């Protein structure tokens, strides 16, 4: 009887260690699949079509098509932040504007957000070309049905960024592709 209990405890301990090791490896592989998130010290979570990157407390998708689908599902506007790794103003927008607590709250409650590297993937290059992005940072704005309504180019302070987004929604340009 004593040997059976001891054997059972060993099996239980082994099962727990195995489960912990499996979770650790799975977690590391998810983090390894998002180099941008790792370089910025952010977390990454994988879903079917879209990686989600947490920048501060704001969740960003990495696929425009998946984010547009999510926008339709949630009936929210979609903000696609088009950036490059070398863009200083893009980094400043992340640091100053998107890290602002009021901006994070505003975007988390009213928007589906995507962060698209214009030089980092085939989709990123296609998005930048299709929407005629000529400078960085550039925000592409889509209505809840997925229709492209316009873009914001350049750096904005948090309050100015929110106002510019709201103005764009209220008064979309006749040519959303124009700068």
Give a yes or no: residue 178 inside a domain. no
Using the predicted structure, report yes or no on whether residue 160 has a pLDDT greater than 50. Answer: yes
Residue range of the domain that includes 14: 1-32
Same domain? For 95 and 125 the reply is: yes
Same domain? For 28 and 39 the reply is: no
Give a yes or no: residue 65 inside a domain. yes
The mean pLDDT value of the chain amounts to 78
Same domain? For 122 and 158 the reply is: yes
Give a yes or no: residue 175 inside a domain. no
pLDDT band at 21 (very low <50, low <70, confident <90, very high): very low
According to the model, what pLDDT value does residue 103 have? 95
Residues 6+ apart with CB under 8 A from 156: 93, 97, 164
Closest to 37 in 3D by CA, of 51, 26, 23, 50:
51
Rounded CA-CA distance 102/19 in Å is 40
Same domain? For 23 and 62 the reply is: no
- pTM of the complete model beyond 0.75: no
Give a yes or no: residue 177 inside a domain. no
Give a yes or no: residue 91 inside a domain. yes
Same domain? For 80 and 11 the reply is: no
Same domain? For 129 and 161 the reply is: yes
Query: pLDDT per residue over 32-51, tens digit each?
Result: 333 333 333 333 333 345 66
Does residue 164 sit in helix, strand or coil?
Answer: helix
Residues 6+ apart with CB under 8 A from 131: 82, 140, 148, 151, 177
Using the predicted structure, report yes or no on whether residue 57 has a pLDDT greater than 50. Answer: yes
Query: What's the rounded mean pLDDT across residues 150-168?
Result: 96
Query: pLDDT per residue over 88-100, tens digit each?
Result: 999 999 999 999 9
Give how many domains the chain has, as a whole number.
Answer: 2
According to the model, what pLDDT value does residue 178 have? 78
Q: Could you tell me which residue, 33 or 82, shows the higher pLDDT?
A: 82
- Strand pairing category for 51-55 and 43-46: antiparallel
Same domain? For 23 and 52 the reply is: no
- In DSSP notation, 23-47 reads HHHHHHHHHHT-HHHHHTT-EEEE-
Give a yes or no: residue 92 inside a domain. yes
Give a yes or no: residue 59 inside a domain. yes
Using the predicted structure, report yes or no on whether residue 126 has a pLDDT greater than 50. Answer: yes
Which CATH number goes with the domain that contains 128?
A: 3.40.30.10
Same domain? For 13 and 59 the reply is: no
Same domain? For 112 and 60 the reply is: yes
Using the predicted structure, report yes or no on whether residue 56 has a pLDDT greater than 80. Answer: no
Same domain? For 9 and 68 the reply is: no
């Amino acid at each position: 009887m004593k040997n059976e209990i001891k054997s059972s405890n060993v099996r239980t301990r082994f099962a727990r260690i195995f489960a912990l090791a499996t979770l650790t490896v799975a977690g590391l592989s998810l983090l390894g699949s998002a180099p941008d998130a790792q370089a910025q010290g952010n977390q990454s979570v994988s879903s079917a079509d879209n990686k989600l990157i947490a920048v501060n407390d704001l969740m960003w998708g990495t696929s425009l098509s998946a984010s547009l689908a999510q926008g339709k599902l949630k009936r929210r506007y979609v903000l696609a932040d088009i950036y490059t790794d070398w863009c200083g103003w893009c980094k400043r927008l992340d640091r100053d504007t998107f890290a602002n607590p009021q901006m994070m709250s505003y975007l988390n409650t009213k928007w589906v957000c995507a962060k698209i590297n214009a030089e980092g993937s085939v989709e990123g290059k296609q998005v930048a070309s299709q929407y005629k992005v000529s400078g960085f940072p550039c925000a592409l704005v889509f209505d809840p049905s997925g229709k492209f309504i316009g873009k914001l180019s350049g750096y904005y302070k948090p309050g100015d960024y929110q106002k510019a987004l709201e103005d764009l929604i209220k008064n979309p340009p006749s040519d959303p592709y124009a700068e």
